Amino acid sequence: MIDKIAWLHLRDGRILSTRSRGKEVYYLPGGKREPGETDHDTLVREIREELDVAIVPESIAAAGTFEAQADGHPAGTLVRMTCYTAGYRGTLEASSEIEEIAWLEHADRGRVSAVDQLIFDHLHETGRLR
């Protein structure tokens, strides 16, 4: 099981997604915990590293946990994505290993990882993603 934290940032019915250098698939911003980190610590660090913005810690809110086959791993390797919403300060910019940021909608679900597809479906069903 791969355990990851993700930021769900929606605007005008679209969700912020990222594409790493050398990859074709888009992923929700976030990543794995470092030793001793809480979910909130991980979210703040990963978003600062990937998008060069500061998450507002007091605005972090749980948004669900999703599991699916891990992209690029042997069959049976699952990823568990614990998702949070949060406000931020700064200007979103691709940083670190991120080559591109994109605002995707449900019609783009074929461009994202399996676990992100589940999240896209959930957000679409609840009227948050067009």
Conformational region of residue 108, where left means phi above 0, alpha means psi within -120 to 50, and beta covers everything else:
alpha
β-pairing verdict for 54-55 and 61-69: unpaired
* Bridge partners (DSSP) listed for residue 31: 5
pTM: 0.96
Q: What are the domain boundaries of the chain?
A: 2-125
Terminal-to-terminal C-alpha distance of the chain? 30
Q: What is the CATH number of domain 2-125?
A: 3.90.79.10
At 4-16, the pLDDT tens digits run 999 999 999 999 9
At 68-91, the pLDDT tens digits run 999 889 999 999 999 999 999 999
pLDDT of residue 4: 98
